[in-house]
C-alpha cells in the first residue's frame, strides 16, 4: 500500500491547524467543464478515494479554468504531495528515535534519504510557486500562504537536514562514530562549516527561506525552526512573544542572505552555526582569536568586522527581552536592535576555551563588555569585550580592504605559508599571544577544515 500523507492531517496532527476541509460540493462532475468550483470538488472526491493521479487532473483543470482559484492550487499541492509518497510519520520516527543526535536523520539509509530528498525538493518547488502567487496577489485569498506555512516550514526543515546529511561523507568528524548513539560523531556546525562555494550558498538560501517563513508565521517557530536554531528558540518562545520572534527571524534572514563572495558565504555559515549552538571553537577569520564575537550585529573585538567568528548564541547569553520588545513595537529592525545582549558568561563548552590565547581559560576579560550597559555601549559606539582593548590590528597600516583580504587568506592557510612572525607583525590581533606550539596546533585544526 502506498505511504500516504495528507497535508491537512499533517497540519491537524502536528501543528494544530484546523479547518482544512475547504471544498463545497457543486452539481457538475465533467472534467471538461469550465466550472472551477465543480472541478475542484471532484478533485477532492478523487483525493479522498486515494486516486491522486485523477485528483491532480481535476485540480489542474480547475486551475486552467480559473488560475486564481486558491482551493484548486491547495488541492493540487495535496495531490502532488501524496503522489511523492512522503511519509512524515517515518521522518519523525527518525527524529524521535535519534533525538540525542545533533543531526537526527544521520541514521537514515542512503537510499531512503535520496528518495525523500528528491520528493521533498519536487513538492517544495511547487509550494514555492503557490506561495509566490499568493503573496503577489495572483490568487483569490480563500486559501493563503498562512494555511500551509507551518507544514511548509516542517518540509523546509527536513529538506535542510537532508542537504546537510548528503555532505556527511566529506566531513572528517562524520566518519567517526559516537559510542553512545552509534551515529556519526558530528553536528550541524561541523557540516555547515565544511561547506564551500555553491553548496554553502544553497544551505544559506535554505536557512534564509526558513527564517522568512518564521517571520511570516512565528507561531510555529518553536516546534519547527526551533529545532534548527535552538539558541534563538530557547530565549524567545518561552513567553510566546510572536511579534519579537517574527522580528528576530526577519533579522536573521537579512544577515544570512546568500552571496557570491566565498568569504561572505563562510562568514554567514559560521553565524548560522553559532545560532544553532554549534560554533567551531577555532579561529575562523585569521586574527588568531577563537570565537571572539557574539551574534549581535556589532564589532566585539575591534577589528572592523561584525559577527565574523561568533561563539554560541546560547552560551550563557542574557538578552534584554524588554528592550527587544520595545524595538519591535517601535518598528526598529536589524539584528543590532533585535539581539540586545545584556551579558554573557561561559557555559560548559567554553570554560576551557582561551579565546585570546593569553594562557588563561575563560577569563573575565573575554566575557565582560567594556561597557556593561547596552545604552552605554551604543552611546560610546564601543561594543568590545575587555580583552579586545589589549589587541592591536593591522599594525602595518594597510588599507582596510587589503587588510581584511589578507586576514581571510591567513584564515585558510594550513601549510604555514604565513608564518607566526608574519601574522604577529601584519595581522596583530591575538597572534602576539601565540607560542610556536600553539601555532602548530592551529595549523592542524585549520588543515582539518580545509584540506581536501
Following DSSP, what letter does each residue of 42-74 receive, concatenated?
HHHHHHHTT-HHHHHHHHHHHHHH-TT-HHHHH
Does residue 53 lie within any of the structural domains? yes
CA–CA separation, 78 and 56 (whole Å): 9
CA–CA separation, 67 and 129 (whole Å): 12
CA–CA separation, 268 and 191 (whole Å): 14
Residue 63 zone, left/alpha/beta (φ > 0; ψ -120 to 50; rest): alpha
Does residue 323 lie within any of the structural domains? no
Q: Please give the tally of structural domains in the chain.
A: 1
| pLDDT value, residue 26 | 45
Does residue 146 lie within any of the structural domains? yes
Does residue 90 lie within any of the structural domains? yes
44-47-49-52 Cα dihedral, nearest 10 degrees: 150
| pLDDT value, residue 192 | 82
Query: Mean pLDDT of residues grouped by 10 in the chain (452 residues)?
Result: 35 34 45 84 93 94 94 92 76 56 72 88 89 93 86 83 86 81 78 80 87 79 54 52 78 83 86 84 94 94 93 85 84 86 92 94 95 95 97 96 94 94 97 96 87 59
Secondary structure class of 277 (helix, strand, coil): coil
Nearest to 173 by CA among 152, 154, 194, 196: 194
Q: What is the DSSP string of 80-108?
A: HHHHTT--HHHHHHHHHHTTTSSSGGGGS
| pLDDT value, residue 51 | 94
Q: What is the pTM of this model?
A: 0.78
| pLDDT value, residue 151 | 79
CB-based contacts of 440: which residues, under 8 Å, 6+ apart?
A: none
Residue 309 zone, left/alpha/beta (φ > 0; ψ -120 to 50; rest): beta
Cell of 385: 569585550
Does residue 127 lie within any of the structural domains? yes
Contact 98, 106 (CB under 8 A): yes
Q: How many CA atoms lie within 13 A of 101 on its CB side?
A: 23
CB-based contacts of 277: which residues, under 8 Å, 6+ apart?
A: 189, 230, 231, 312, 313, 314
CA–CA separation, 84 and 430 (whole Å): 53
Does residue 23 lie within any of the structural domains? yes
Contact 430, 407 (CB under 8 A): no
| pLDDT value, residue 300 | 97
Contact 159, 117 (CB under 8 A): yes
Contact 228, 210 (CB under 8 A): yes
Does residue 10 lie within any of the structural domains? yes
Does residue 101 lie within any of the structural domains? yes
Handedness of CA 197, 199, 203, 208 (dihedral sign): positive
Contact 273, 401 (CB under 8 A): no
CA–CA separation, 262 and 269 (whole Å): 11
| pLDDT value, residue 387 | 97
Domain, as residue range, for 93 = 1-156
Amino acid at each position: 500500500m502506498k505511504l500516504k500523507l495528507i497535508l491537512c492531517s499533517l497540519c491537524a496532527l502536528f501543528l494544530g491547524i484546523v479547518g482544512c476541509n475547504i471544498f463545497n460540493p457543486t452539481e457538475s462532475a465533467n472534467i471538461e467543464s469550465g466550472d472551477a468550483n465543480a472541478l475542484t470538488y471532484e478533485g477532492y472526491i478523487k483525493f479522498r478515494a486515494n486516486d491522486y493521479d485523477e485528483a491532480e487532473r481535476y485540480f489542474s483543470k480547475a486551475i486552467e479554468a480559473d488560475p486564481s482559484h486558491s482551493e484548486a492550487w491547495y488541492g493540487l499541492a495535496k495531490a502532488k504531495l501524496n503522489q511523492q509518497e512522503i511519509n512524515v510519520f517515518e521522518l519523525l520516527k527518525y527524529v524521535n528515535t535519534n533525538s540525542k543526535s545533533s543531526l537526527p536523520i544521520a541514521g537514515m539509509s542512503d537510499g531512503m534519504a535520496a528518495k525523500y530528498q528528491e520528493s521533498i525538493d519536487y513538492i517544495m518547488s511547487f509550494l514555492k510557486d503557490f506561495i509566490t502567487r499568493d503573496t503577489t496577489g495572483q490568487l483569490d485569498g480563500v486559501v493563503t500562504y498562512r494555511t500551509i506555512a507551518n507544514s511548509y516550514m516542517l518540509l523546509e526543515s527536513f529538506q535542510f537536514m537532508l542537504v546537510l546529511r548528503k555532505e556527511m561523507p566529506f566531513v572528517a568528524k562524520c566518519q567517526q562514530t559516537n559510542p553512545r548513539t552509534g551515529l556519526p560523531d558530528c553536528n550541524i556546525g561541523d557540516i555547515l562549516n565544511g561547506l564551500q562555494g555553491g553548496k554553502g550558498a544553497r544551505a544559506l538560501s535554505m536557512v534564509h527561506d526558513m527564517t522568512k517563513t518564521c517571520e511570516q508565521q512565528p507561531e510555529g517557530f518553536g516546534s519547527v525552526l526551533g529545532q534548527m536554531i535552538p539558541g534563538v528558540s530557547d530565549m524567545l518562545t518561552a513567553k510566546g512573544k510572536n511579534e519579537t520572534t517574527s522580528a528576530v527571524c526577519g533579522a536573521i534572514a537579512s544577515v544570512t542572505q546568500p552571496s557570491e563572495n566565498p568569504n561572505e558565504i563562510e562568514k554567514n555559515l559560521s553565524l548560522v552555526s553559532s545560532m544553532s549552538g554549534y560554533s567551531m571553537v577555532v579561529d575562523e577569520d585569521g586574527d588568531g582569536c577563537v570565537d571572539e564575537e557574539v551574534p549581535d550585529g556589532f564589532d566585539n573585538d575591534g577589528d572592523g568586522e561584525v559577527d565574523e567568528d561568533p561563539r554560541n548564541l546560547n552560551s550563557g547569553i542574557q538578552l534584554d527581552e524588554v528592550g527587544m520588545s520595545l524595538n519591535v513595537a517601535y518598528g526598529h529592525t536589524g539584528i543590532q536592535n533585535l539581539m540586545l545582549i545584556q551579558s554573557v558568561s561561559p557555559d560548559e563548552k567554553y570554560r576551557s576555551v582561551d579565546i585570546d590565547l593569553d594562557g588563561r581559560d575563560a577569563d573575565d576579560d573575554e566575557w565582560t563588555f567594556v561597557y556593561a550597559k547596552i545604552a552605554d555601549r551604543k552611546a560610546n559606539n564601543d561594543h568590545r569585550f575587555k580583552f579586545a582593548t589589549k589587541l592591536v590590528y593591522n599594525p602595518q597600516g594597510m588599507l582596510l580592504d587589503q587588510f581584511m583580504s589578507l586576514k581571510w587568506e591567513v584564515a585558510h592557510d594550513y601549510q604555514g605559508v604565513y608564518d607566526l612572525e608574519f601574522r604577529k607583525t601584519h595581522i596583530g590581533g591575538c597572534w602576539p599571544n601565540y607560542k610556536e606550539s600553539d601555532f602548530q596546533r592551529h595549523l592542524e585544526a585549520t588543515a582539518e577544515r580545509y584540506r581536501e
